[in-house]
Amino acid sequence: MLGTIANTTAIFCGTALGCLLRRGIAEKYQKALYDAMGFSAFALGVNTVVSYMPRSQYPVLFILSMAIGCVLGTVWDWDGKFQRVMDRMGKSELGKGLSTAILLFCIGTLSILGPIQSAVQGDNTFLFTNATLDFVTSGVLASAYGPGIAIAGAVLFCWQGSIWILGKWLGPFIAPALMTEVSIVGGILIMVSGISILKLRECKTLNMLPALFVSIALYYLAAWLL
């Protein structure tokens, strides 16, 4: 749980810092911060893919996972459904900021794959990286919407904590080779997140998340057939 605790603490600290900047952070500084975080996320994604790719038993599995996962996510319209829920929550100014914070903090590859890697492999790299990203983001949001953004930190703790507990429970049944395949797909999604933060291309990352679960199904199918 160390990584999740660090991630939650980072949001609280970022919120506190943002509240001190009551007039908000100037747009040019916001852009500079997001550029830095976007390139960092992209670099982490590239490093993850490069690190795990040589260990893959099924070199084409990640391609099929991304293709099938993105199609399923688009058909199910996860992004659209989530946005509509957030729109209903965001009737007040705080609601808008809080809905944005929950989306950014909780619904992302780092926040989903991170607790699993922490529980199964004892590796908190993704969560520590996510903590840094969330520290900057919470500071920017809190400067505009106030201390209520800290609520998103509590939501994140429950979210990641639940995934971590599930990972601990399922850990003995998760083969290292499976984590390799999932990590490759996760690395690609982290790269996509970086591209979205940099606004180089509008990517509906939420619609790509099914690829993580598809990679698990395809791994077991390949292991059974081969």
Identify the pLDDT of residue 41: 84
Asked if 190 contacts 109 with a C-beta cutoff of 8 angstroms, the reply is yes
69-124 residue pLDDT tens: 999 999 999 888 877 776 776 566 667 677 778 877 887 778 988 999 999 989 99
pLDDT of residue 134: 92
pLDDT: which is higher, 72 or 23:
72
> Distance between CA 200 and CA 77 in Å, rounded?
22
- Say how far apart CA 24 and CA 43 lie, in whole Å: 28
200 Rama class: left (phi>0) / alpha (psi -120 to 50) / beta: alpha
Cβ contact 182:113 at 8 Å: yes
Spatial distance between the Cα atoms of 57 and 39, rounded to a whole number of angstroms: 29
* Residues 104, 120 contacting (CB under 8 angstroms): no
Separation in Å, CA 91 to CA 75, 95, 137, 183: 28, 6, 21, 37
In this predicted structure, what is the pLDDT of residue 28? 84
Give 130-146 pLDDT, tens digit per residue: 999 899 889 888 887 88
Question: Is-contact 117 179, C-beta < 8 A?
Answer: yes
Question: Rounded mean pLDDT of the chain?
Answer: 87
Tell me what pLDDT residue 65 has.
96
Q: Is 110 left (phi over 0), alpha (psi -120 to 50) or beta?
A: alpha
* Percent of the chain residues topping a pLDDT of 70: 95
* Domain parsing of the chain, residue ranges: 2-225
The whole model's pTM is what?
0.81
| 3-state secondary structure labels for all residues of the chain | CHHHHHHHHHHHHHHHHHHHCCCCCCHHHHHHHHHHHHHHHHHHHHHHHHHHHHHCCCCCHHHHHHHHHHHHHHHHCHHHHHHHHHHHHCCCHHHHHHHHHHHHHHCCHHHHHHHHHHHHHCCCHHHHHHHHHHHHHHHHHHHHHCHHHHHHHHHHHHHHHHHHHHHHHHHHHCCHHHHHHHHHHHHHHHHHHHHHHCCCCCCCHHHHCHHHHHHHHHHHHHHHHC
pLDDT at 99: 72
* pLDDT one-digit tens code per residue, 28-55: 887 888 888 889 889 988 998 999 999 9
Give the confidence band of 23 by pLDDT, cuts at 50, 70, 90. low
Contacts of 223 (CB under 8 A, 6+ apart): none
At 213 the pLDDT is: 92
Record the tokens describing residue 135, joined without a space.
């520290």
